[in-house]
Structure 1
């Protein structure tokens, strides 16, 4: 575990993310311990997010006229947020798809005005509510599910069995304030007892 923390810390420092490591080291270590991805895949996903973020930030039009969230899980990239035009939406997808180790891009960027701080705060609260409910359910590996909310649409990512994915979707759908649920799970075999 100490080696893993050192690798993540060095990688993050090289990418200019020292404050993230200092603030999230303990939580990150717990998340890594419960994650079904390999350590290398977890680091790859973090690198993918950073590289796509840099590519978008290096494009002045995208940097100034869009709000794009980038989430990578096991090489599957989710783009969510808002763009002023379809061309900007498509450009963000092309930039994401060009990054090494990206297996698939799910582009759920909507065309419209950039979301307000109040809207993003509400989305953060919804993420917290959903995550708490997933963690509290004995039939769902809540600590293995990545939850992201954008415009009251909740995205669920992770490696789960079909029954776990169905249950997680049901819990999320029944959470007050959620308008839409998008399951982007990778399904694994049911473990044998």
Structure 2
């Protein structure tokens, strides 16, 4: 007798497909889920800010392409577990956050990062240590979502010019601010999110206009 589909929270998934998903490497499954969430958030951000932002769609989708290319490189390397590493790319600047269990793994991660065609700079914020606990992972996700909402709704900040990574309650900001005043406002918004322990800025300022 043919068995019917398995139900998960109102959605159906074929048993064989579910088995294949469970057998995927943990690093690949973890990065895949993070990618789905971030793609959804980015799509919404682009729609909300397309009229007000000076950052065009080509730049945004180039970041997505670079992310996909880099992840394919990481997935092909089965010697290390990248499941607790976050990849954040903004116009060729790659921010690596999270933890790796060994220094050798961190060095391999950085080596692989430079292999992606669209990467022009690698910013290493990866620590050596145990992976993020489930509880801390939920807390980091809450902080991430709260800050994204603040940046997208604040009238003094162009939210689409910023990328966020949160690891161990530390917020990392990447992007380009229109001015020092806007950057100060973005940092203030990050510091005032409940649960944030530290804010690290890798946000660039525009080059001075030539006279």
Output the TM-score relative to the length of structure 2. 0.71
How far apart in 2 are the matches of 1:54 and 1:82? 19
Check the 8 A contact 1:65/1:84 in 2, yes or no. no
Of residues 31-40 and 178-187 in structure 1, the stretch that sits farther from structure 2 once superposed is 31-40
1:110 to 121, 127, 150: 127
Whether 2:118 is the aligned partner of 1:80: answer: no
Task: Say whether the 8 Å CA contact 1:156–1:182 is kept in structure 2.
Answer: yes
Q: Deviations over 1:4-26 (max 9, x none)?
A: xxxxxxxxxxxx99x78x96796
Aligned-residue offset at 1:100: 1.2
- Any runs of at least 4 consecutive aligned residues in structure 1 with deviations exceeding 4 A, and if so which? 22-26
5 Å-filtered alignment, 1:136-147, equals 136-147=153-164
Deviates more, 1:144-153 or 1:86-95: 144-153
What corresponds to 1:187 in structure 2? 205
CA distance in 1, matches of 2:184, 2:61: 28
Gaps of 5+ in 1: 1-15
Alignment of 1:32-43 (within 5 A): 33=50, 35-43=53-61
The answer to which structure has the higher helix fraction is 1
Asked whether the equivalents of residues 84 and 113 of structure 1 are also in contact (C-alpha less than 8 Å), the reply is yes
TM-score, normalisation: structure 1: 0.77
1:178–1:28 CA distance, 2 compared to 1 (3 A):
closer
Task: Give the number of the structure whose alpha-carbon radius of gyration is greater.
Answer: 2
Query: How far, CA to CA, are the matches of 1:84 and 1:25 in structure 2?
Result: 30
How far did 1:50 drift? 1.1
1:37 deviation in Å?
3.0
Q: Which of 87, 91, 103 is matched with 2:108 structurally?
A: 91
CA RMSD of aligned residues (A): 3.0
Is 2:187 aligned against 1:172?
A: no
Distance in 2, Cα, partners of 1:169 & 1:24: 20
> CA–CA distance in 2 between the matches of 1:71 and 1:25?
12
